[in-house]
Amino acid sequence: MKKKVLVLDDDKDTLKTIKDILLKNGYDVITLEEPKKCIKKIKEKKPNIVLLDVLMPNVLGTELAKMIKVEFKKLPVIYVTILSKEEIDYKKVDGYVKKPFYIKDLLRIIEKATKKCEEQN
């Protein structure tokens, strides 16, 4: 069964790039530009993992990640952001990818986070 990834980013080009990469590598992909719809979309689509931009209008990805972790405790969240590790507390999520990223790094981090989640279940 294909793993389902929800990708949230306010940049359409980034969304398209990540979606294309994930589709080519056997994932089902749900894209979302509006952070306010994230929790509802997770409930509807039940993804295996969430890729989340940090700097978005109206809602910071860090705040959204906290909400996701409260409501969906075991759902892995990975930041995909232009911020460096020194600028963000990434230890409260399951992974971190700095933009621009290497495809193999993105895929490795997704696989690591989903595998860890499966082992906990």
The confidence score (pLDDT) of residue 117 equals: 65
- Domain architecture of the chain: domains with CATH: 4-120 (3.40.50.2300)
> What's the rounded Cα separation, in Å, for the pair 117 and 12?
28
Q: Hey, what amino acid is at 84?
A: S
- Two structure tokens written together for 116: 């860890």
> What's the rounded Cα separation, in Å, for the pair 87 and 32?
24
Instruction: State how far Cα 44 lies from the chain centre.
Output: 16
Length of the chain: 121
pLDDT in tens, 30-66: 999 988 889 999 999 999 999 999 988 777 788 899 9
> What's the rounded Cα separation, in Å, for the pair 35 and 50?
12
Q: Is the pLDDT of residue 119 over 70?
A: no
pLDDT in tens, 61-84: 888 999 999 999 889 999 999 988
